[in-house]
Chain A
């Protein structure tokens, strides 16, 4: 929801980044205020996923310019875990499997670690069990998932639900969902979207990174951004997503180039 006088959560200015010497982000600008849901769309290779990983602190990318502030704090100075504790959450496109680690233990450890750093009390196993079971209802997850190894043998949909469960537990200020809709059937998509919608409130914000408009039928964005060649080249409301769905991405690029030439 777009709120009057809501405070800025994320401010990205002229962000540039390279991987192995190749520039992927070429001056990206984005401002996200609390309460808002942003969708970042764009063709493959436009830099969407890179941007999500950079926000979460992946070490494969070198930041060559620009700034990223989370609630006024320089995010780029922080290690990935410090970002998580400060309120960044990335739902992975491909969540990893950790055979040998029981999901409930993993969830409790991450919860307690983050809570401790935020100055809150830890939960003991029994308290956490109640807490997590409540959150699982949100995602219509079978409690059996708690006793299984993290993501091991989970279907695509189950993995994504487990990601959103982690999001529900860690209560981030800014959640970034990287292609969360990929590989989901319609039922799983509905459940995941429902979970995300219920977690959204006036104090947090969500960035949906997606290739397709489909997800946006279920999670309605306040802003839709089109990314191409490492920059956001167009921003609009939710209707922009429908236009992209029918017309594709090419016209946005052409329009952008024409505008750029006109101002040159």
Chain B
């Protein structure tokens, strides 16, 4: 029998035990990719507090359970997921515990846009997919990205063709239903030249037990493409959620993202962006957590080329004895002249036991740039509370309103009305302290 110690040492390998049973894919490149990733998993170990990138985020709890992929898919009906329905969505892909659910999904296959999954017949796009799948995420030193890739069997695929502009959102829904299981969601979004789309990447749960979500998302914007990416992490509060997202912005493309983290016992979101010339990104985030939750967001914005613009506003509202971590690195490379970058980390502590670690990092190697960053950690502003009291609101009502507003400022940026309303309600519920 394994002692906890040996389990931890071999944890990644233990997770891999089911992987050899994945049937070989007819796609040669996919088999090669998996094999390469499997090698990396075997070579890497689970990060600990001794790793700089993980110094505030203790994931040893994760390693106490050998989560396995589900053997049998849970049968769900439309009614089971109707609470997560986004009415404006033109198309929906649903994965249950990592397994594609065709009867709950509505694919989209026309000239301009293709919303489908990897295992479906997509002979038209094989070369395109091969060129991008697994090519943007770096899993050489990233155990979890490697693990996801080792399990890469199916994936959500969204391909927006050149000059196609889709206004309604596309909803990719990952539903967790079985406890003690691991799921490896994968999403590839390719937005060709001069195309435009809005994608909601949504993690939800229909159960209360522990499980492990380890996701990888790759987003590719070719020249002049415009993507709105909304990421909603509303897993159960016992879940472990580790996610890696790589975004590649080609010339003059525009990436607008809002990511919210409400759920999970422990969550970690790594977002890496590479900006080409004249591209623009706005990367906003909200972590709203309480009790014993931990939410960690690491972002890396790479101004690799000149004239790119980046904007980032990350907010954390931390109650109970929860712990939020933000590490926002902005790299301005030597030739990235005329970079325009603004970053702001704003944090609200609701209790004495709540904790926040924030680290905005600006590394500039170019000399003609406009970069600002800043961080605030605090309680509610007394003058703001007084202002609302002077309008007749009780102190508690004033505090509740300001806490709500602090979070709602990020939610407001979500360009999908129904989702915005739903999430505003969640923020309202979670920030309202009853008298």
* Smallest beta-carbon distance A2→chain B, Å: 28
CB-based contact B386/A98 at 8 Å: no
A56 to B406, CA, bound (A): 25
> Is B404 at the interface (CB under 8 A from chain A)?
yes
Does B394 sit within 8 A of A, measured CB to CB? yes
CA–CA, A101 to B394, complex, Å? 17
Within the complex, which residue of B391, B393, B397, B412 is in contact with A100, where a contact is CB–CB below 8 Å? B412
Output the least CB separation between A120 and chain B (Å).
12
- Decide: B392 and A81 in contact? CB cutoff 8 A: yes
Contact A98 B384 (CB under 8 A): yes
In the bound complex, CA of A100 to CA of B405 (Å): 4
Whether B404 pairs with A81 at a CB distance below 8 angstroms is no
Q: How many whole Å from A206's CB to the nearest CB in chain B?
A: 16
Interface residues of A in 69-102 (CB under 8 A from B): 79-81, 83-85, 88-90, 92, 95-96, 98-101
**Within the assembled complex, what's the spacing in Å between the Cα atoms of A109 and B397?**
10
Interface string of B164-185 (1 = CB under 8 A from A): 0000000000000000000000
Q: Please tell me if the beta carbons of B392 and A96 are within 8 angstroms of each other in the complex.
A: no
Known: A100-B408, A101-B405. A110 touches B392 (CB 8 A): yes
Contact (Cβ within 8 A) A84 B402: no
| B391 with A166: CB separation less than 8 A | yes
- What residues on A are CB-neighbors of B412 within 8 Å? 99-100, 149
Across the interface, do B389 and A81 meet the contact criterion of CB distance under 8 Å?
A: yes
When C-beta atoms are compared, the residue in chain B nearest to A116 turns out to be B392
Flag whether A57 is at the interface (Cβ < 8 A).
yes
* B387 lies within 8 A of A95 (CB): yes
CB atoms of A99 and B392 under 8 A apart? no
Counting from the closest, the 10 A-B pairs by CB-CB distance are: A100-B408, A100-B405, A80-B389, A100-B409, A114-B392, A84-B392, A110-B391, A99-B409, A101-B405, A81-B389
Extra 12 A-B pairs, beta carbons < 8 Å, given A81-B392, A92-B387, A109-B393:
A79-B395, A80-B389, A80-B390, A81-B393, A81-B398, A89-B390, A98-B384, A100-B405, A100-B409, A101-B401, A101-B408, A166-B391
- Would you mind naming 28 contact pairs between A and B with Cβ atoms under 8 Å apart? A56-B390, A57-B390, A79-B389, A80-B389, A81-B389, A81-B395, A81-B398, A84-B389, A84-B390, A84-B391, A85-B392, A89-B390, A92-B387, A95-B387, A96-B383, A99-B412, A100-B404, A100-B405, A100-B412, A101-B401, A109-B401, A110-B388, A110-B391, A110-B392, A114-B391, A149-B405, A149-B409, A170-B392
Residues on B lying within 8 angstroms of A by beta carbon are 381-384, 386-395, 397-398, 401-402, 404-409, 411-412
